[in-house]
Amino acid sequence: MDSQPERGSTFWFTLPMAEKNTAEPSSAVSATLGDTASQSSYRLLYIEDNPTNQKLMEDIVEDYPHVQLQTVSSAELGLEIMRYSPPDLVLLDINLPGMSGYRALEIIRHDEQLKHLPVIALSANAMERDIARGLEAGFADYLTKPIDLDKLSATLSHYLAVAPAHAPRMAT
């Protein structure tokens, strides 16, 4: 918890994930993401302020028990979470209230603890110049909305395949 008089407090908590039905996922995404590592666990942080987009990503990722998705609605909160518990991969919206995705990326790239994290832009800004600007700014990759499931699958599979896996958590 971080608290400053007359400025406010920032705090976070972790909730255990519910047991998931282990039925086989049935989409193009499953074929690629399912191969990353069945005995490993990967943490994916999605920073997105739009509840519909958050829900869509939750629906996509829920079929993969080895990928733990955490969604937050602001770059500021995302940075705090990254410092407390660095994820394996970050999906970052560009147009966020408060701090933009570009500013958050700049902070990440200048932070010794975080600069190694792969950060992928996921934005509705889909013109070629937008994509080029994002890649020049230092995003590891740039995906556009609406989400192309095959491209999302290939991108996540690529970055999670090179991420160090975590041992699966045991039920207590």
Torsion angle of the four alpha carbons 148, 152, 153, 156, in this order, in degrees rounded to the nearest 10? 180
Bridge partner list, 92: 47, 121
Q: How far apart are CA 70 and CA 90, in angstroms?
A: 10
Over residues 12-68, the pLDDT tens digits come to: 545 555 444 444 443 444 444 555 444 568 999 999 999 999 999 999 898 777 899
Q: Domains plus CATH for the chain?
A: 39-162 (3.40.50.2300)
In sequence order, which residues have a C-beta less than 8 Å from that of residue 4 and are 6 or more positions away?
none
Over residues 122-131, the pLDDT tens digits come to: 999 999 999 9
Q: How far apart are CA 127 and CA 110, in angstroms?
A: 27
pTM of the model: 0.75
Over residues 60-113, the pLDDT tens digits come to: 898 777 899 999 999 999 999 999 999 999 999 999 999 999 999 999 999 999
Torsion angle of the four alpha carbons 58, 15, 44, 53, in this order, in degrees rounded to the nearest 10? 30
